[in-house]
Structure 1
Amino acid sequence: MPDRPPTAPSGGDRYDAALASALAGHGVRVRTVRAAGGWPWPDGDALRALGEVLVVGGRQEVVLVDGLVGCAAPDELQACAWVRPTAVLLHSRLSVGAGETGERAALLDEAEARALGAVGLVVVPSGRAAAEVGERYRIAGGRVLVAPPGVDPAPVSAGSQGIPQLLTLAAVTPLKNHGLLLEALAGMRDLPWRAVLAGPQPDAAHLRRLRARAAALGLEERVSWPGAVVGEVRDRVWAATDLLVHPSRSETYGLVVTEAHARGIPTVVGRGTGAEEALGAPDRAGGPPGAAVDVGGPEEMVRVLRRWLTDGEVRRGWRAAALARRGELPGWDVTAGTVTEALEQLAGVRR
């Protein structure tokens, strides 16, 4: 997995750590290795170090590599796959997650195609992601495993008990679409609310542009940017939240969505992304715990948020649905069981 500060974990990092812990609970001997480097653009030293790590161990020991690392190192991954059962845990396409376009995106797509073509198994968090991998890279369905993330038990959020608090919990990058959220919030300045836009801030220039836009829209006093939140601080933010808004343009799943539901917090997510799958079936009894909206423009977001803010019946219905979904969410032991079975089969094929 990528070696990143524990103070700024991504959803993929949290998935990796939780899965490793749960696999150990299934009796799997797990050795976690953090790969240093500027992934997905590693230098030669990072690639050499990764290559050395991948060849350590017995020929029947299964290697499961985070896609941010493995897909950026197709030669090293191919060399590993020649001698050991090798799988990739793909949280996001490299080019999409990195926000690349044009020639740089094409280079990452090519590397990813080579890497995924070399391994025996690709693990993805959603059916939507599996379909995309199969279609884009022509990988047979038997080599793609859907392993939705589990959820840790969490207390029910009490909420704001006053002015409604909206939360966006995501890295402040163009992909996560904070700019669209600001435009939507500007369309509701006549209503009481406050918004917490928490998450790692890897691009200082992008953050400055967003804060300047918030000020220009008259939102400076109502929108806060606390940065990455972990531990007790993260728990306090969740406890005061009434609605999670996740306007990301692309998601393979959206772990933060089910983390919200585990606390009884409804969610608004981007239509056509994996976060819609995390939201749950739209025809579930009692209705969905939120809504999926178009994130190409702010208009539908404004309508949906305004309805939630002004219609008590909608708020109560979404809250009830989120509380009901809370009891339906699987734990990480289920995810680990799914992955364990697939890795055992992969190892058996290589014997």
Structure 2
Amino acid sequence: MTDFRVPFGFEDALRPPVRMRRARLAPAVLRVGRGGEAGTARAKLERIVRRTPEVMVKITGRTRDGGHLQRHLDYITRNGKLVLEGPDGERLVGRPEVQALAEDWRAELAVVKSRRDAPVSFSIILSMPAGVDPGRVHDAARAFAATLFGDRHPYVFALHTDDRHPHVHLTVRALGRDGERLNPRKADLQLWRETFAAALRDRGVEAEATPRRARGVVRKAERTTVRKLRERFERGEGAMPETLKGALESAAKPRADEPPWETPLREKQASIRRALVVEALRLQASRAGEDRQLGQDLEHFIRTLPPVATRRDILARALAVDREKPQAPMGRSR
């Protein structure tokens, strides 16, 4: 019999970063990983220790009118070359059928009184790391869409395999069948990640949707727009983004002037790591072989966790290294 129990303090790492009860679509879906059952917590901990690939579920944009929606659908179908799939296996083939769908969605929105800037649809990407079978990603996306939107919001999706990462473009109509508008919150996005990860696991694909803190990561992912601006600046094609400029100014300040949110962040990560160390030692002393193995794996995981480094820390180190570089001698003037 296993001696595993939920590590005291680690429940904060397993807990989603937002209050899941605020998710608007929560009543219609299977809740995943509430964290109250030891079996669920152990399975999640085992996947974290194995560094199971994390799913990506991201809202990439909103279409504002029929023309915008048509251009988006042309993009995800490669101008009609890829098949669009909808609920119950509905298939749209070729640009004429795609154009008809865009017109239907636009027309239905037009008869409903709403804000002038109300979106026609939401564009969502479901993705996994390279090496995952695209067919299983496609099947999981089909189950994900049916579970979340099947009887609420019309949707279509297409699989892309022309990239290292197999991914699905899912387009969901903002106006629901009952007249309710889709307005996802942060809690919805976390719930979507967990639902997609569970759908992949049901199809034999190792997948997780854990908070960053459970994996020892404290930095948020860079926003796409900021990353593109930064890359343009690094290529010498534009001005330094204001966000990067502010981050550099913050990194140049002494440690005593660090932002007030960084201290609790470090303390939280230290608390989680202490809890893991205690649990690793306890499991290694267990009579059950599976517990001892998990304890050894957990110890290795802890030893290989990245240092707790905020973006400010990384930029500060980069600035320090840059200052220490020897300056090239000035050329002799004639």
Q: Which one has more relative contact order, counting CA pairs under 8 Å at least 6 apart?
A: 2
* Larger radius of gyration between Structure 1 and Structure 2: 2
The bucket for the TM-score relative to the shorter chain is under 0.3
Give TM-score, length-normalised by structure 2.
0.24
Give TM-score, length-normalised by structure 1.
0.23
